[in-house]
Each structure stands twice: as C-alpha cells, then as structure tokens.
Chain A
C-alpha cells in the first residue's frame, strides 16, 4: 500500500500536515517565519511527517490565464506539493538500522518501533530523501508510519483522509501507478507538458517508492533528490574494499616486523 500525491491539484491548505500531527500526536516542530512563500515548515523531520512545499515561479501553469504578477509579462505560477516518507522498496534506513527497530510491515511500509530504537542516528544520513530525523530531547528517530495503526483498522492514512482535493491518494501501489500514468497522460493532452511522475518506477534507485508523486517541475525544485539510490546497493563492494584494506593493514604490520633488524 502507498500514496500517490498529485501535486497538480494540491491547493497548499496543509490539512495533511495538521491531520498527521493530530492523529499521530507529533510534537510541535518550531514556530518559524521563513519567508519561503507560504512554507514555514521547511522540510520533513522527526516532528514533521508531512510537509507542504510552496514554490513561486514566473511561469504559466498549463493554459492558465493569470494576471497576478505585475512585473514582467505577468506570468506566475505557484507549485505546491505535500512531501512524505517514500516507504522505499529498498529502504536505506531499514537496511542500516543496527537494532532492528526499523522494519517492513505487512502493508509493505517502513516503520520505526519506538520501543526498540536506541537513537544511534544511522538511519538519518542513510535516507537519500532527508525524511527521518532524531527528535530533540527524546533521542530516537521518528518518521511517517503511513498510519500503521489506521491501516490495521482498515482505515486510510490521516493525511489522505483529510486532503480536500484528493491530491493525496492512498491505495495499492499497482493501482496507484496506473492511475498516476493516466493522470500524466491527461495533463499532457491538456497542454501541461511539464507534468511528470516521480518515485513510480520499480526499477529506480530505491526499487520504487511507496509514495509516488506527479510533479510539475524537476524533483530538485521541490527539494527531492533527482536520482536517489539506496546506499546499500554498493555495500558488498564496500565490504570487499574494507576487507582488502584490513588485510593490507595486517600485511603492513607483518612486513614492518619481519623487515626490521634487531
């Protein structure tokens, strides 16, 4: 199960952020004024499991008729996108967790067991998307659970439930992929040629994400990595390299002792 977030119909209401906080009892994450359009949340973290990005661009959105912007040629568009944990098929956080606190649920999602996590912090730099983080004062790592408790009760996640435009859709991944492909097709036909999917491809660097997106610009504009690759993909090569270096170290010591006259 997973999410398909269609950012072309996101209105930036942040109901998902609020619903997530309410349902999951996520603590306050800072009351800042950033000046970054309408985004004072800034990014995902231990206390922010849904984050709505706001991007202002001097461009027209599809065939929209706008005259909001008084400078230049009057073209202006607002991109809004609700970001969330990708629940990767090949999840770096889960791979590197040394305690087994992070695990794969029966729904295919990735969840932290807070009663096991010892706050080693390894999952944080292992995530190529910058999702999981350490909660200050608590010490453990926290992130979106894709409402594990709600899924168990046959309910959809709080954010999808609260989304008033169905920008956030919840369902089986195969079904969502089909729906996403259809939506891109539809947008292309309607002249929104910049519409593209992100995280939908099971052959990508994380084996396909459990949260895919329809974006209207390049991923990095939304703060997403353009081509994320799970770090453990190269781990066997890394271990070989370390093993050779360790043998080299032992060999160097041996050479130093054998080659030294008394």
Chain B
C-alpha cells in the first residue's frame, strides 16, 4: 500500500478521568484466538451456505471445496476457542445451561449444532459414504451457518467496549458481508473453474455490504468510531477494504473475460489465475477486517475518553441511560478549570 499519512487522531477531547486509566477492564481475549475465531467462524458459516447451494445446483466441485473449508475452519475455531478459556478443561461448562441473555451461550449452542453438521458434511463428501446423512448434514449446516457468521457481531456489541457497543447496528451486516466475501474467496480459489460462477455473485454482494458497513462503523458511531482510526486498527481495516475491493473486482473481471468462451489456453490459464488470486484476496480481506474490528475495540477499551465523553454528553443533555435523566440526581455544575485528561493537583 502507498505510504499514506495517518489522519490525525481524535483531538484531545475535554474530559476528566482518574489519572488517564481506563474505566472498563479491557477484554483479556487473545487476539489470535478470538479475532481469528470470528474470522474463521464467519468463513465456515457462509461456506456451509455456499456448499448447500452448490450441492442443490449440481456443482459438486464447489460443494466439496466449501464443505472442506467449513470443516477445516471449524476445527481451527474450536481449538482457538477452547485454548482461549482460562480453564480449558472446563470447556463443557458452556453447555451447562442455555442463556438467551448471553451471546456466548447462544453461540456455544449454535456451534454445538453447526460444527458436527459441518464435519459430517465434509466427511461424507470425501468418503462417499452415507450420502443421505451427508445431504441432511449439508442442509443443516447451511441453516445454522448464517447464524454462526453473524452472532459474533452481537458477542462483541453486547459489552461495555465503546467501539463495539456503539457499532451494534453496523457489526452484524459487516460480519455478514465479510463472511460472504470470505466464502466466495474459498469458492474462487479452490473450486473448478466451471463451477465457481455463483461465488462471483457472492463476492460482489459481500464486498458491497462489507464496504458500506465498514464505512458506517467508523462514521456513524460517534466518538467511539474514531477508535478505529487507532493506527494498529486502521492499517488492518484499510488493508481489508483494499483487498475486498480488489478481490471482488478481480473476480468480476475474470468472470466477464472468461464468459466469451472458446478462449485460448494461455488466456484461460491467466483468467483462472486471476480468479484464484481474487479469491485469496477476499479471504485475506475478511481476516484483516475482523482483526481490525477487534483492535479498534481494544483501543477504545484502553482509552477512558471513549467511555467518559459520550456518557458525560448523555448526562449533560439530560438523556441519561436510565431514561429518567437526573431523577433525584443532585448534580452540581462542574468547577471551572478542570478540563484535561488527568485530574491532579498542580
């Protein structure tokens, strides 16, 4: 990428804090495991939907690639999720209860249904054994797959992490679009050339949704959205956008160039290579976007301004979180000369 200058970070908002320390405790989730899972889970969910589409429309090559990708991504996901637990040996406690108020509980149950279906779908496809069980598993995984791809947006939004919480409207479509594009990438990169047509459509729709939601995540979420301009997050999000656009554009170009039929072998090989490279770009783009979103949230958790400034504004405008602004709240006008990030005696 071109060495573009970073846009300046948020100008120091006037707010008060306790020695600049974070108000909330930042998540203890490891980036590689959790952001990695959110990427792989999204890819697996949308791939399973693509696998069913391919199976139902007579594209066995595309179906096999999608089922294998889904099963592989789920294997990685389950490993990452268990590894990130503080007590991995107690992973089964996730299924001790079902709590609709806990996106992680809901997600665990969705995965408990989805992962076996994805494994059976891939296993039966590879071995050719139990075809009817395989079809049922393929369809089952396709039904649960979209939920696997999008519930992780709620998982992040249902926290006190400002950049995730304020992005609760944008994260689900962003994750849906990013998952679609990633699965399309699998189809383009791994399926036989004649069967990857639908992946192009998925790539274009997914990229359009992802790019729109990604832009809104930063622009429509107030101060919290500016956490995504933290350098460590912005680099990845920008890479995600560039790769998404390039991947979808490349896939579409390859499709249009190849549609003339009777192309010469050299040209056919070039078009195939362009298609596969576009697929790889889309998969990488999805990973960049998810890791970027993860890092933006972490940046907003570490800096108290993202917690304090919007809440203070809410209080001062009389729309406190309880809906009963200032009810019985003996709030006194702030003393002058207190602005600044750290409140200490001079």
- CB contact list, A30-47 vs B, under 8 A: 34, 36-37, 39, 42-45
B46 and A235 contacting across the interface, CB-CB below 8 Å = no
A30 to chain B, nearest CB (A): 14
B168 and A237 contacting across the interface, CB-CB below 8 Å = yes
A18 to chain B, nearest CB (A): 21
A220 within 8 A of B: yes
Tell me, in angstroms, the Cα distance from A197 to B330 when the chains sit together.
7
Tell me, in angstroms, the Cα distance from A59 to B97 when the chains sit together.
53
B266 within 8 A of A: no
A252 and B202 contacting across the interface, CB-CB below 8 Å = yes
Tell me, in angstroms, the Cα distance from A42 to B158 when the chains sit together.
26
- The tally of residues in B whose CB lies under 8 Å from a CB in A reads 99
B10 within 8 A of A: no
Tell me, in angstroms, the Cα distance from A239 to B268 when the chains sit together.
45
Contact mask for chain B residues 302-335; partner A; CB cutoff 8 A; 1 contact, 0 none: 0010011001101100001111100111111011
Q: Which residues of B contact A135 (CB under 8 A)?
A: 86
- CB contact list, A196-222 vs B, under 8 A: 196-197, 200-201, 203-205, 217-218, 220-222
B296 to chain A, nearest CB (A): 13
Interface centre among A72, A118, A241, A253 (most CB of B within 10 A): A253
A122 and B104 contacting across the interface, CB-CB below 8 Å = yes
B102 and A250 contacting across the interface, CB-CB below 8 Å = no
A231 and B29 contacting across the interface, CB-CB below 8 Å = no
A242 and B29 contacting across the interface, CB-CB below 8 Å = no
Question: Which of B117-125, B127-135, B193-201, B273-281 is the contact stretch?
Answer: B193-201
Tell me, in angstroms, the Cα distance from A36 to B324 when the chains sit together.
35
B154 and A98 contacting across the interface, CB-CB below 8 Å = no
Q: Which residues of A contact B176 (CB under 8 A)?
A: 245-246, 248-249
Using CB atoms, name the residue of chain B closest to A99: B93
Tell me, in angstroms, the Cα distance from A248 to B21 when the chains sit together.
41
B90 within 8 A of A: yes
B215 within 8 A of A: no
Question: Which of A9-17, A20-28, A137-145, A159-167 is the contact stretch?
Answer: A137-145
- CB contact list, A114-136 vs B, under 8 A: 116-122, 124-135
B17 within 8 A of A: yes
A120 and B27 contacting across the interface, CB-CB below 8 Å = no
B345 within 8 A of A: yes
| A121 with B331, Cβ < 8 A, contacts A128-B160, A227-B315, A256-B205 known | no
Question: Which of A49-57, A147-155, A168-176 is the contact stretch?
Answer: A49-57
Using CB atoms, name the residue of chain A closest to B301: A125
- CB contact list, B1-38 vs A, under 8 A: 15-19, 21-29
- CB contact list, B109-168 vs A, under 8 A: 142, 146-147, 149-151, 153-155, 157-161, 165, 168
Query: Which 3 A-B pairs rank lowest in CB-CB distance, beginning with the nearest?
Result: A119-B86, A139-B86, A205-B321
5 contacts between A and B (CB under 8 A): A99-B93, A184-B330, A203-B323, A227-B315, A233-B321
